[in-house]
Structure 1
Amino acid sequence: MRVDADTIEQWFAAAGPREADLRRMDAAITAYAPDMERVFKDWNFGGAGLGYGRIDYRTKSSPTLQQIPVLGLMPQKRHLALYACAVIDGQYLAERYREQLGSVSCGKSCIRFTAYDKLDESGLAAMLTDVNERYRRGDHLYGV
């Protein structure tokens, strides 16, 4: 689902019935990962979205270095997605915390959920606190 918006408030409003869940997730991320600067922009993977923290990244086919968010929050057609571009001790962040996150579907770098209430908030807090601490220390999380 591509969301085109010029401001964070327009982006939240464009989510329609998922607005409250996006706001709750945004509040959790900013509370548990305070060192990861929140950035609103078009990240070129589904329109405008909220990103948290930044890391350098280069695709295998591109010589150009770019910055991507460590965490990215996006509404999708049938769910909400929290993209987690972090590898900790050789394991993708989403996979590392999958069992602690509640009723979610996880891929390597994506946590999909239909409503914020489906998440286990203590597991989410543990994951966000962990990645925030590593980000604050300057650990190599992903990419270049």
Structure 2
Amino acid sequence: MTDEIDAWFATAGPREGDLRGVDALVQAAAPGIDRQLVPVGSGQMLGYGLMPYRPKSAKETTMWPLIALAPQKRHLSLYVSAVVDGQYLAESRAAELGQVSCGKSCIRFASLDRVDTVALDRLLRDAVATTRAGGNDYSAS
């Protein structure tokens, strides 16, 4: 699996360094979290901490990563699938994260040096801790 992940990083070209930097941040914030490539559309993203998830439109529960990382054409996307007290963590903390653009669970940034990594570390740690404690409303568990 490590060889596959290294190959995935390499396909990102000039974004490889930032992807590896975000990967290191995630692993530091969530020691021992499982890490694997997850198929999405015609590509893959790097997923961390698979958890049960069922969209409202689905009849069956599937597995989805708590945290996921994907290179895009003009930016990187870091997905944090955590809803606490009715609010998406990424969206609710967008103002703390530096020069980023946020959707409900997606944090988009052009390069890692534009991100407040201390605030991102705190967000990741909170998402993991809340999920482990059963307080993540995004999860179907």
Alignment TM-score, normalising by the size of structure 2: 0.90
Q: Does 1:22 align with 2:6?
A: no
Aligned to 2:60: 64
Letter in 1 for 2:27: T
Shift of the 97–76 alpha-carbon distance from structure 1 to 2, 3 Å rule, reads same
Q: Does 1:9 align with 2:10?
A: no
Q: What's the CA shift for 1:102?
A: 0.4
> Number of residue pairs matched?
138
Unmatched segments (≥5 aa) in structure 2: none
Letter in 2 for 1:109: S
| Residues 1-144 of structure 1: pairs in structure 2 closer than 5 A | 7-42=4-39, 44-45=40-41, 47-144=43-140
Q: What's the CA shift for 1:19?
A: 0.1
CA distance, structure 2, for counterparts of residue 26 and residue 34 of structure 1: 12
Question: Is the 1:55–1:142 contact (alpha carbons within 8 Å) kept by the matching residues of 2?
Answer: no
Runs (4+) of structure 1 moved beyond 3 Å? none
Alignment TM-score, normalising by the size of structure 1: 0.88
